[in-house]
Structure 1
Amino acid sequence: MSGWRGFLSFVLALVLGSGAAHAQDDTEALLKQRVAEVVAVMQGKRDAAETFDARFLSEVPAERLRALTSQIAAQGGAVEGYADFKREQQRSATFTLKLANATAPARIELGPGDKPLVAGFRIFAVTPAGDSLDKLDADFAALPGKAGFAVYRLGDDAPVLAKGREVTTPFAVGSSFKLYVLAALARQVKEGKRRWSDVVLVSGKSFPSGTVHTLPDGAPVTVHTLASLMISISDNTATDMLVRLAGQEALAREVRLARHARPEAMAPIMTTAQLFALKRGGDAVTERYASASPEERQRQLDALDLSRVAEADPGEVFGHGPVAIDRIEWFSSPADLAGVMDDLRRLDSREAFDILAINPAMDSATARTRAYVGYKGGSEDGVMSMTWLLRDKVETWSVVTGSWNDPKAPIDNKRFEVLMLRLAKLAG
């Protein structure tokens, strides 16, 4: 009897296995069908309601899809088809939109049900045919305000510049300063001064952003969790807790070790709550801080009343145009940001590498061409900065970084993202 039960179990496993494979084939075929339908919608050959579900169309109506198609066509020509289909997860796939004069990575995700429609659709950077670093250089030069970028090769010595513009120009870089905090912590762990598993109690909350500010005061959180949130979603309260934990001495040391050209411009490293309070204080406060020595700046920061920052509306400072971005910010050049990424590479911390890789800020098709993708960016009104640490399939490391500032007007973040993704693709 046991033999018969074993035989029946074997037959049942074959049947079930065959059914699962058949279901997977059906889903892949449906994904390919939906990709073709999305292309047809963009070509004006199909009604959007036949391909996209109601929830998607409530957020992205058909007229907005048409506007998106027009924008894409203006950048790269008419939509001609697709290539490079790759199923990712159970109900999602990536592909490359083929345009008359360009290509663009894209991704769809299906909704629930047996015959689901498209519930998610995203197009990434449009890459012109025959794109080059020289073309990108001209596109960066055309940005209003000031902008710079750099591609560095990393090795045994200092980073080697492959291509760049305004490489040594200091820029306001927003949350990209958090790379210095991560590096300082990784160094302290390497030196045995702390562990990633150390527990910190939630305190000193910043203005609403991220996750940690929603936790109760005194809630226990590990250093690793705080660092992961600081880098992956730019959690402000997590950042401020880690700035205080690392300490200004360790942060200043890290800025120097990372070869920052003007370490005094980064001293002291403000918390996000301090930056908010300074900018909320008005022109007289920001001017007094900007013109002070590092020692005097520290005294001014110590005197700030941060007791109500956690309850503040970010709209008091942000969302109305640039506010003192040339005076109150964290300042680094493309060369400086390459230096701190190189320092993180040299520290060779598995935990730091994992943290940087949580949010690659890159489409999966491009990311798959790399053995490793680590990322941190930063922005506020008039400021955007993006930096990748990359390793290719032959173990060559590089840094791709760029920043854009305009103290007079908001900048087009999407335009900059497209330029930077083109740069990352060309970095080799």
Structure 2
Amino acid sequence: MVPMMMLAAIMSPSAQAQPAAATIESRAREVVALLGGTGDYDATFAPSFRTAVPRARFDAIAAQLQQALGKPTGVAAIEATGPWAAQIRIAYDGGTLNADLTLDPGGSHQIIGLLAKGAEPRGPAAQTLDAVVEQLAAQNGTSVFALARLGDGSPRLEKARNATTPIAIGSAFKLVILAELVRSIEAGERKWSDVVTLDGSALPGGGYAQQPKGTQIALRELAERMISVSDNSATDILLFHLGRAKVEAMLPVVGFTDGGVRNVPFLGALEVFKLKGVDGGALGTRYLAMDAKARRAFLDGPVRDTPIAAIPRDLFQNGKPLRIVELEWFASPNDLIRAMDWLRRHMDGTAGAELRAILSKNPGLPDATKHWRYVGYKGGSEPGVLTMTFLLQAGNGAWYALTAGINDPARDVDTLKFTGLMNRALDLAAPR
């Protein structure tokens, strides 16, 4: 599911633990019913969730899950992750679905966040990394994969498929913005505690889109939201606060070289939504016909001045890929590995402690930390695009980076299959 994820408010664990646990269990059972085709959607989900994930979209996802896993049979496990949040496991006839569940801490405690984190179909799992790569290659579209050992020199590939092939990477582009922020902090230009004051400029969906002009937000908070929950409003605030040109200058520094000039000008999230969606994509068609200089002027003029209301409300809701070959951010597996390695090398610098915490707040998959001492993560997705990139430290202290992705211009990616393979890859890649 692709809902608006929101953080639960901090409440007293001792005062809230028992009623919260019972309410979370009740809401989890309601999710099972809805995934099975019954239940009251409006009563279970908060208005913010229903806006991000209309009932028709939810039902389409539920149908995909049933096609892959059979019928849902119940709640298999609940593990609290906060006063009103939990990781849940939903049992199906043919496997298990992992998801993060977040409830509104006030009022009727409706669900404000439900994020699928991978499925585990029953049946024989891949026994080797070669088998994982083979099964990845069997999926529709173009697939890429790379596992590299990180050390003092350049990353050393241990397993790869199309490692130099740039593909659309979705929100993984945010790693470059994070790198520029880290560079500026290490250079003494900024501090994590510095604040950005909102100037009233339009923002894409996220936690800050409706905040009034004059709202102040710390760089540390923006960075964490950008990486951990892929908040697009936080992303655009940071991109334009740091400066588009500064972020572009970091592309070769962090190793985004295979993607090359395709990422210049470096687009913001709202710009991409406008280019893909306004007037059936006409704005994007005009943009693509221009050279780099003209594109910059176009972004800073007609694209900026196009109101958000011109973006179709159902953009991306039908699950069909939308110009992923032309209008996106692009990188190869090698690019993403080099970027993660750059960030790893700066974890010992003046910005290092906060950087380490930001990258590891969301490990990407529920079982990612099972065999790894440290897990940093950034993924990216939209219809037809799915990537997952991990920075990993083994129990023996050795560092690795693992990344994979699929692009399919014709159809959406089989998320369950992909995340299942990535779970298996994380397990098999861990030194024993």
Give the number of the structure whose alpha-carbon radius of gyration is greater. Answer: 1
Q: Supply the RMSD in Å over aligned alpha carbons.
A: 4.1
What is the aligned partner in structure 2 of residue 173 from structure 1? 169
What is the aligned partner in structure 1 of residue 58 from structure 2? none
What is the aligned partner in structure 1 of residue 245 from structure 2? 249
What is the aligned partner in structure 2 of residue 141 from structure 1? 137
What is the aligned partner in structure 1 of residue 304 from structure 2? 306
Residue 214 (structure 2) pairs with residue 218 (structure 1): yes
Q: Which amino acid aligns with 1:330?
A: W
Residue 359 of structure 1: how far off its partner (Å): 1.1
1:138-287 equivalence runs, <5 A: 138-203=134-199, 205=201, 208-260=204-256, 261-279=258-276, 280-287=278-285
Residue 122 of structure 1: how far off its partner (Å): 8.4
What is the aligned partner in structure 2 of residue 333 from structure 1? 332
What is the aligned partner in structure 1 of residue 120 from structure 2? 126
Residue 353 (structure 2) pairs with residue 350 (structure 1): yes
Q: Which amino acid aligns with 1:228?
A: E
8 Å CA contact 1:103, 1:129 repeated in 2: no
Deviations 1:304-338 (A, max 9, x none): 34356455666353223121111111111111111
1:13-24 equivalence runs, <5 A: none
Q: Which amino acid aligns with 1:389?
A: L
Structure 1 residues 225 and 168: CA distance shift in structure 2, 3 A: same
What is the aligned partner in structure 2 of residue 381 from structure 1? 383
Which residue, out of 361, 368, 392, partners 2:370? Answer: 368
Structure 1 residues 91 and 368: CA distance shift in structure 2, 3 A: farther
Q: Which amino acid aligns with 1:160?
A: R
Deviations 1:229-288 (A, max 9, x none): 111111111111111122133212211112222421111211111111211254554344
**Secondary structure at 1:304's aligned position in 2?**
helix
Structure 1 residues 299 and 137: CA distance shift in structure 2, 3 A: same
What is the aligned partner in structure 1 of residue 28 from structure 2? 56
Structure 1 residues 227 and 217: CA distance shift in structure 2, 3 A: same
CA distance in 1, matches of 2:36, 2:142: 31
What is the aligned partner in structure 1 of residue 287 from structure 2? 289
Aligned residues between the structures: 366
Residue 201 of structure 1: how far off its partner (Å): 0.8
Q: TM-score, normalised by structure 1?
A: 0.73
Residue 190 of structure 1: how far off its partner (Å): 0.5
8 Å CA contact 1:386, 1:402 repeated in 2: yes
Residue 309 (structure 2) pairs with residue 319 (structure 1): no
Structure 1 residues 369 and 89: CA distance shift in structure 2, 3 A: farther
8 Å CA contact 2:100, 2:117 repeated in 1: no
* Structure 2, gaps ≥5 residues long: 1-13, 38-61, 104-110
CA distance in 1, matches of 2:80, 2:317: 38
Structure 1 residues 404 and 194: CA distance shift in structure 2, 3 A: same
Q: Which amino acid aligns with 2:264?
A: A
Deviations 1:70-96 (A, max 9, x none): x899889xx9xx9xx999899999999
CA distance in 2, matches of 1:213, 1:91: 23
Q: Which amino acid aligns with 2:157?
A: L
8 Å CA contact 1:231, 1:355 repeated in 2: yes
What is the aligned partner in structure 2 of residue 4 from structure 1? none
Larger deviation, residues 282-291 vs 255-264: 282-291
Deviations 1:125-148 (A, max 9, x none): 438445211211121111112111
**Secondary structure at 1:61's aligned position in 2?**
helix
Residue 164 of structure 1: how far off its partner (Å): 1.6
Residue 156 of structure 1: how far off its partner (Å): 0.8
Structure 1 residues 413 and 304: CA distance shift in structure 2, 3 A: farther
What is the aligned partner in structure 2 of residue 404 from structure 1? 406
8 Å CA contact 2:91, 2:97 repeated in 1: no
Residue 355 of structure 1: how far off its partner (Å): 0.7
CA distance in 2, matches of 1:232, 1:86: 19
**Secondary structure at 1:209's aligned position in 2?**
coil
Deviations 1:201-253 (A, max 9, x none): 12465555220112112200011111111111111111111111221332122
**Secondary structure at 1:375's aligned position in 2?**
strand
What is the aligned partner in structure 1 of residue 362 from structure 2? 359
What is the aligned partner in structure 1 of residue 41 from structure 2? none
Residue 97 of structure 1: how far off its partner (Å): 11
8 Å CA contact 1:204, 1:237 repeated in 2: no
